[in-house]
Structure 1
Amino acid sequence: MANIRDVATLAGVSTTTVSHVINETRFVADETRERVFAAMRDLNYAPSLVARSLKVKETHSIGMLVTTSSNPFFAEVVRGVERYCFEQGYNLMLGNTEGEATTAQSYLKMMLRKRVDGLLIMCSEGQREVLGQLDWLGDLPVVQMDWGSGGACDLIADNSHHGGMLATRHLIALGHKKMGCITGPRDRAPGTERLAGFIEALQEAGLPLRSDWILEGNFDCASGHQAMRSLLAQSERPTALFVCNDMMAMGAISAATEAGLRIPEDLSIIGYDNVALAEYMSPPLTTINQPKEELGRLAVTRLLTRINGERPQETLITLEPNLVIRRSCSTPSTQ
C-alpha cells in the first residue's frame, strides 16, 4: 500500500508539502496541489487519507450518509436519529448523497476531517463503491441502516420479505385472486425481498402469478405513476395491487384516478413504509409500517455502543413490520 513518501516522490515534492495539501494547513500553488492530487489518485492513496482523518479524541459528533432526504421515509428516520443524538448529547452531521458514489466519498472525507466519532450509512446499496472501501475507516464504528451489505459493519434492516407477505395476505383475506405488484429496483434488497414475499404469499394461497402484472419502479412517485399507466394499458388488469413503497403508491393512485378508476372500489392498493402522509391521502393508504423511530433509535444506540468500546457479536438486527389498515383496500367488486 502506498504511503506519503510514495506520493511525494511521484509528485516531485517533499512529504511536508504533501501533508500541507492534505491538511490544508498552508498555501500550496495550484499546479503543485494538482500534482499531489494526481499522485494520490494514481497510487490509490485514499486509504491513507482517510486513516489520517480518524478521530484522536471524542468530538461527540456522528456522521450520517443518506441516499436522498426528499423521500418522506428517509426524512422521518433522520428526524428520529437527530432526536436521539440530541438526547445523548451528540451532534449529527448529515450528507445527502443522492446515490452518487463520488458525492458519498466527498462527504465521507469531510466528515472524517471533522473527526466524527462514528458513521451511519442509510440505503447504502446505492453506494457500493463506498461500501467496498469501508476498510479505509479502520476502527471507526459504522452502522448501516435500512439495507446494505452487512459484513463487518452492523446492519439494522426491515424484514422486507415478511412485510411483502403481510401485504399480500391482507389482499387475499379480502377475497382478491388477481393481484399485481409494483416493485422497487430489482438490484436492491427491499425490492427483491418484498417481491419474494408477495410471490410466496400467492403460492401459499394457491393463486396464480401473472408476470405481466409485476412492474419495476424506483421508489419514487413518478415511477409508480408510470408503472400504473403501463398496467392500465393492458387488456386485463388485477383487482388489487401491492406497491412496494408509499411514494410509488401515491403515484399509482394518481394515475389510476386520472384514468377514472375509484380506489378501492375498482382497484385496491396497499403500500409500504407508512410515511406520515399516507394517513392523509385520499383515500387514506393501507400500508405496511416500518418502525422508523425504532430504526433511528437502534442505529444510534448500536453506534454509541461501538463508540464506547463494546463489541457486540451480533451484527444484523432485523425489525419486524406490521400492517396498518386504512381505506385504500376493500373486497373486490369483480374477479
Structure 2
Amino acid sequence: MVTIKQVSEKAGVSSATVSRVINNPDTVKEKTRELVMAAMAELGYRHNVVAASLASNKTHTIGYVVPELHGSFFGAMMGGTEQALRQAKKHMLIATGHSDAEIEKEQIDALLSRRCDALILHVEAVSDDYLVNLVKQGVQLVVVNRFIEAIGEHCISLDNIKGGYLATRHLLEIGHTKIAYVAGSLFKDDGKNRLLGHQQALAEWGIGYDENLTFEGNFQARSGTEGIRTLVEQGASFTAVACANDEMASGAMIALRELGRRVPEDVSVIGFDNVDFASYLSPGLTTIDYPVQKIGRMAAHWVLEQVYGHVRHDFEHILAPRLILRGTTSSPH
C-alpha cells in the first residue's frame, strides 16, 4: 500500500503538505497541489478514509434529517447544504423523519451511531426540550426551519409569521377583503406561524378572522385542491386565497379552474416558499420568498465552522421573507 510518506518523497514536499492537499486543498498553493496530485496518480495512492477518521476522531460525515424526500422544497434545501459540504470534502447521510417524533428520534440515534460529526435537523415532531437536551449532551447540531430560544445559536429559520403577514397584506393592499386561507399542517411550527401572520394582517386592516374561510391542508398540492373544493361546497365567498406553500397554491389553482374561476380575474392566489416551479406556472405564482438554498448553505457553514474550524461565516439565525410579485394576484373586479 502506498503511503503518504512515499507520496511526499515523490512530490518533493513534506508529509504535512500532502495531508493538507488531501484534507484542506484550499490552504495549499495550486502548483504544489498539482505536484502532489501527480505523485498520487503515478504511485496509485488511495486515501484510507477509515484510518484517517480513527486517527483524527472525525468521520467527515454529517447526518441530515428531513421530513420527506419528495417535493422541490427539501431538494433545494439539501442541495444548498450538499454543495457547500462537498466543496469542503465532507459527506452527507440523509434520513427521513416523516414528521413523527419516534421516527425522528430513531433516525437521529441511527446517524449518531454511525459516528456523524454533526447533525442538521429539519425535524417537526420532537419537542424543543428533546433538542435542547441533545445540545446539553454535547451533540453538535444545527436546527433548520425552526427557532428554539434556549438554543438559538444552533437554529437557522425564516420569520414565518412575517411571511404569512406579508402574503395577506399584499392581498389587502390591492383591495381584497374576503380572503380564504389554505393552511399547512397546524401541528407544525411553520404552518401555525404562517396562519398567525395571516391573522395579524387581517387584524391590522380591522377585518375579523373567519374560521369558515380557513382550510387546514398538509403542505401537499392535493390538499390545496381539496381545500378550495371544500370551501366552495360549504358556501364560502372569497375573492382571494392565501396558501401556506406553493404546492398547495398550485393545487388551489387547479381546483379554481375546474370550478370555472379564472386566476387572477375572478380569484387571486398567493403562495409561500418561491420554489422553482412557481415561476413556471401559468400565470406565474405570486408568492413569499423562502431562501431555502441559502438556509441549506448556512447550515453547512455552521457545521464547517463549529465542528471543523473552517473560516468564520456571517449567520442570520432568523431570515426575513420578501414578497415576489407575479401574475396570480390582481385587484378584485
Q: TM-score, normalised by structure 1?
A: 0.76
Which residue is equivalent to 1:203?
Answer: 203
Alignment partners' CA distance in 2, 1:120 and 1:130: 17
Following superposition, which runs of at least 4 residues in structure 1 exceed 6 angstroms of deviation? none
C-alpha displacement of 1:129: 9.5
Question: Aligned partner of 1:140: which letter?
Answer: V
Q: How does 1:28-177 map to 2 (within 5 A)?
A: 57-122=57-122, 124-128=123-127, 131=130, 134-135=133-134, 138-147=137-146, 149=148, 151-152=150-151, 154-177=154-177
Question: Aligned partner of 2:119: which letter?
Answer: L
- Report how many residues are paired: 277
Are the aligned partners of 2:104 and 2:125 in contact in 1 as well (CA < 8 Å)?
Answer: no
C-alpha displacement of 1:181: 1.0
Which residue is equivalent to 1:225?
Answer: 225
Which residue is equivalent to 1:30?
Answer: none
C-alpha displacement of 1:136: 8.7
Task: Name the SS for the 1:272 alignment partner.
Answer: coil
Which residue is equivalent to 2:328?
Answer: 328
C-alpha displacement of 1:164: 1.0
Task: Name the SS for the 2:92 alignment partner.
Answer: strand
C-alpha displacement of 1:149: 4.1
Task: Name the SS for the 2:124 alignment partner.
Answer: helix
Question: Aligned partner of 2:108: which letter?
Answer: L
Question: Aligned partner of 1:103: which letter?
Answer: I
Alignment partners' CA distance in 1, 2:64 and 2:129: 13
Question: Aligned partner of 2:145: which letter?
Answer: D
Spell out, residue by residue over 1:134-193, the C-alpha distance to the aligned partner (whole angstroms, 9 max, x if none): 539832211010125453371111101111111111111211111121111222221121
Alignment partners' CA distance in 1, 2:135 and 2:297: 26
C-alpha displacement of 1:132: 5.5
Alignment partners' CA distance in 1, 2:81 and 2:99: 20
Q: Extract unaligned runs of 5+ from structure 2.
A: 1-54
Which residue is equivalent to 1:282?
Answer: 282
Which residue is equivalent to 1:291?
Answer: 291
Which residue is equivalent to 1:300?
Answer: 300
Which residue is equivalent to 1:52?
Answer: none
Are the aligned partners of 1:105 and 1:130 in contact in 2 as well (CA < 8 Å)?
Answer: no
- Are residues 114 and 179 of structure 1, via their aligned partners in 2, closer, same or farther at CA, if it must alter by over 3 Å? same
- Are residues 136 and 271 of structure 1, via their aligned partners in 2, closer, same or farther at CA, if it must alter by over 3 Å? closer
1:262 to 2:265 alignment: no
Question: Aligned partner of 2:144: which letter?
Answer: M
Alignment partners' CA distance in 2, 1:132 and 1:119: 11
Are the aligned partners of 2:100 and 2:124 in contact in 1 as well (CA < 8 Å)?
Answer: no
Q: Extract unaligned runs of 5+ from structure 1.
A: 1-54
Question: Aligned partner of 1:144: which letter?
Answer: V
Question: Aligned partner of 1:126: which letter?
Answer: A
Question: Aligned partner of 2:139: which letter?
Answer: L
1:214 to 2:205 alignment: no
Alignment partners' CA distance in 1, 2:135 and 2:246: 36
Alignment partners' CA distance in 1, 2:236 and 2:99: 36
Are the aligned partners of 1:158 and 1:290 in contact in 2 as well (CA < 8 Å)?
Answer: yes
Alignment partners' CA distance in 1, 2:102 and 2:194: 29
- Are residues 253 and 130 of structure 1, via their aligned partners in 2, closer, same or farther at CA, if it must alter by over 3 Å? farther
Alignment partners' CA distance in 2, 1:129 and 1:321: 24
- Are residues 245 and 265 of structure 1, via their aligned partners in 2, closer, same or farther at CA, if it must alter by over 3 Å? same
Alignment partners' CA distance in 2, 1:182 and 1:211: 11
Alignment partners' CA distance in 2, 1:168 and 1:152: 31
Are the aligned partners of 2:132 and 2:150 in contact in 1 as well (CA < 8 Å)?
Answer: no
Q: TM-score, normalised by structure 2?
A: 0.76
